[in-house]
Structure formats: structure tokens, C-alpha cells
Structure 1
Amino acid sequence: MTQSSLLNPQILETAKRRERSYAWRQTRVAWLFIAPAVLLVSLFSLLPVVFNVGLSFTKWQRFAGIDEFAGFGNYRRLFALPYFSEAMLNTAIWVVGAMVFPLIFGLALSLLLRNMAFQETIKSLFFLPRIFAPTAIGAIWYYVYSPHGVLNSMVSGVTGSEFDFGWLYSGSTVTGAVIVTFVWQNLGITMVLLLLGLSAIPKDPIEAARVEGASSFQVFRHVVWPLLLPTVLVVTILNVAAGFTTFDLLWVMASDFPGKRTLSLAVYMYYESFGKGAWAYGASVAVVLGFMVIVVSAFLAVLQTRVTKRIQ
């Protein structure tokens, strides 16, 4: 075929039609493969979300049915009650704790284990709590914090006097106690993800910085940390989402706490929906909680994208 024939408009148009037809066939095949997943996600994730949002604008009580449209009444009641404000504050504390402490201790452990002997064994020990169900973890740590539990027994042994403080019955300590449990459970996965991020960092910039006389802290601050930042943001997104939505640990460990409904928005939602039967009001709490998770996660995702582009 000569060059002049290739430039023929009719031949070019035929080639374009064939290309479009091939692309359309590829698209149909792709949709055929992902259709089951889209159907399942729509039925079990998207449809319940849409139903919950609609439910939050009604006055549905337990066994009463959706008998009346409430407009924004549930949301006005939501922000007017002090219990919701307390739950919001404790949720913020939860999110900060879930974001900061696993990251700090996980980063320290990953830097410590990076060149240590028996690394795999130590990683397995720290990762072990992750394989247990959160309810089992909560039940174990409930007895650690109970008035006659392990922690108080240790304090009594050190001080030589009887100590029976109720860590899970005091508003000043219950949130911190459960955060410690959360950190213990999630430290392993955070450490593993950060170790993967550290292993992906090229050695040439680190060696060049050491040749120039940089100290270990300077190497970490100016070379390792900027290259590790995308992984840190991924870990942060996962921990923040877990902090917003944690329910099982709080419910199992602090089920006897007098003001348990204020422990977090997730607990408050469950208490109002299934404890008091105010399903529509609980749905409005779920909508607010979901909106907060989406906003914070989207902000962190945008931040991660910008950091990644800057590094590249």
C-alpha cells in the first residue's frame, strides 16, 4: 500500500470506524465482567445508603412504619441535643487517636525492624492481634481494665496497696483505655504497610546523603520522610476511616459505662436505632457520620495525590 493510499480520506474513515467498533466491543466485554460486581455493590451497599438517607427524613419508629414525612426535623433535633455534641467530641478524639498513635508507634517499629535480625518473627508477633475479631479483643481487654483485672493487679503490686479503679466506668479514662486497645490491635498492619513503603524507597538518595555527611536524623527528615509520605497518607486514611466507624470495641468494652451512648457517633447511632427504636433519628446520625467520613477521606485522598505528584 502506497503512502498516497494511506492518506485517502475513505481509507482513513474506514480505519477509524474499525477502531471505534473494536473499542466498543472491548467496552462491552469489560462491562460484562464487572456487571456482577456492580450489581452486588448496588444491592448491598448503594441501595441501603439511599434508603437510609430517605429514612432520615421521616418519623419512622420501631414497628410503626414510615407513617409521616419529617423534613429536616431529625437533623434539627440532632444538633440541639447535648448527647450528640458529646458523641461528636468523643468521635473527634477517637479519630485523632486512631490517626496519630498507630502511625507514631508503627513508624518507630518499622524503622527499628527494617535492618533487625528475626524481622519476620517480630512482625508476626505484632501482627497477631489483627487476626482476632474486634469483639474478642474487646472481651479480653475488658478484663484487663476491670476493677479486679490485670492492670489494677499490676498497679497494686507496684504500689503495695489495693487499687480497684474502674477504667471503663469513668468518663475521663474510658475513651483513652479503648484507644489503647485499638492501637494494640492495629499497630501490626500499620507497621507492615510502613515497612513496605520503606522497602520501596530507592537506596541511592540515602547513600548520597550519607556521603555528603548527613546525620541519620537528617537523612530521615530530608530523604526518607518525603518519599514515605504517600504511604503514610494511605495508612492515615485507613486509620481515620476505622476511627470514625469503630463500634464493636466500644460496645463490648464499655457496655456498662453509664453514658455509653456518647462514646462515639457509631455507638450513638446504634443506641438510638436499636436501643430506643428511633430508627429515623438513628438514620440521620448515620448520614452525618457518613458525610464526615467522606469529607475527611476525600481531603486526605486529594492531599495524597498532590504529594505523590510533587515527589514524581
Structure 2
Amino acid sequence: MSATLIDGKTVAAGLRAEVAARVTAFHAKTGRRPGLTVVLVGSDPASEVYVRNKGIQTREAGMRSDEIKLPETTTQAELLAVVQTLNADAAVDGILVQMPLPGQIDTQAIIAAIDPAKDVDGLHPVNAGRLAQGIDALVPCTPLGCMILLDKAGVAVAGANALVIGRSILVGRPVASLLLAANATVTVAHSKSRDLPALCGQADIVIAAVGRPEMVRGEWLKPGAAVIDVGINRVPKEDGKTRLVGDVHFASAVETAGVITPVPGGVGPMTIACLLQNTLTAACFRDGIDPKSL
């Protein structure tokens, strides 16, 4: 068997186009454009590239995009003051503080300080709690992207046995909640789980988000399973350079899975696209508009 590849680039491009059309409708209805502000502390090269791409795609979708760059030496109090200013700014619908933050700053304290209504990363405890209870909430972007990819691939989630490998607040826990809300039977595995290959062998859907290069082997998988690989790991090549691989051993998994996301080009492109959707959703909620009506 050779799995069908789920093209995240194509799906993300379609979602961005859809968001852009809905932003036009939002602007026609309200006279304003949704606004996203990204805060970057320090000069991590990967974060700078990511923030730049967010800005480009936000503007292409017809939204306002602002960036606040702060020095590596920024204190927690200074960053909290910036967040509070953005919370009070009526022109800002979405606030995203780029992670990771320097060691002197408590990441959880910053997340908790963001207005839940503007928390387009979906990490605030209020949004996490609403998601866990099945109430409308701003959902973390990568888990939301995983669910969209499953839907676009025609995967029947309701009634399926779904295995989530990883329990982080960024991916594992929220994607498990989304799968439960979609009526899957969900197992969450982690570093203490016994006999992970056996768990994989029972799963109709496997979402790998553990951060270990090529850990999930093809021979572990149930034939025909849907595999969503969230991992992005840089590993050395023989020539001294590096390459990107996922948490799934793609070469063996593609022979057993029914559908599978590649790395790169699978889940990654969905994250910014879902961020744009979350920003529009936040703007709609703030203006009392049903996002589905646009």
C-alpha cells in the first residue's frame, strides 16, 4: 500500500483565500479590518523569519498587521505592560507573543495576561478550559490545522480510534479535545505510556506531536491509518548539512498508512493560515458577529 499525501500547502492556500474573502465581507459590514499584533522579544533567527511570514500573510488576507520588537533584555514587567496596552487597544483583535521567550520571563504569566478574547494562540487558561468543556473558544492554531487536514482528506473522525502522541498544551491536549468533540475515541500517549507500538496498531488516526525524530515506525501502524505528523525536527545529513524530518518515519509509514502528511509541507503551512482564521474569529466575537455568517 502507498499512502495518499495530504498537501498542507494547498489546503493552507485555500484557507487563506477563504479568510481573505471573509475579511472583505467583515470590512463591508463593520467598516474596519481585523488587526493582529505580534510581539517578538529578542532576535532568534527562526522566530524572526516566522514573524515576518506572519506579517506578510496577514496583510495579504486584508488585515492590519503590526509587529512590536523588544530587546532580549526585556523584563517580565516590561512585557506585561506591553500586553496590557494591547489588551486595551480597540484596534487590536489578536495578540500573539512569539515563543520561546528569554529565560528571565515566565511564559505562563504572559499567556495568562493576554485578554482571552484576543488570545489568537488559544493558550489562555480560559480558552483551554472552554475547549475542554466543548464551548466555543479560540483554539490553538496547529491542532486546528490538524483537524482541517483530516477533514480535507476525507477522514471519518466520528467513531474512529484516535491516538495522540504527546500531551503538550500547544498540540497534544487541545487536539485530543478537538477529536473528542468530533466524536472520536481518543487515547493520549506520552513518555510513560507502555507498548506504544501496540497503541499505534489499534489507531485509525495517529497524530504524532512528541518532538522525537522519526520515532513512529511504519510497522507500528494499522494498515490504512490516517497519520498527521506535527513534528519538525532538524537532523544532520552525511554532508554536514541538516534536513527536516517529522516524528514519523515517513519512508516506512507511507507504505502502511492510508493518508499521511509529509514534513515539510504538511501541518506546518496550516499554522499561520489558522492564525489568520483565529484573528478573524476574534474580531467577529468582539463585534457580535457570527463568524459563520461571513
- The structure with the largest helix share of the pair is 1
1 or 2 for the larger relative contact order (CA 8 Å, sep ≥6)? Answer: 1
TM-score, normalising length from structure 1?
Answer: 0.24
The structure number with the bigger radius of gyration is 1
- The structure with the largest strand share of the pair is 2
TM-score, normalising length from structure 2?
Answer: 0.26
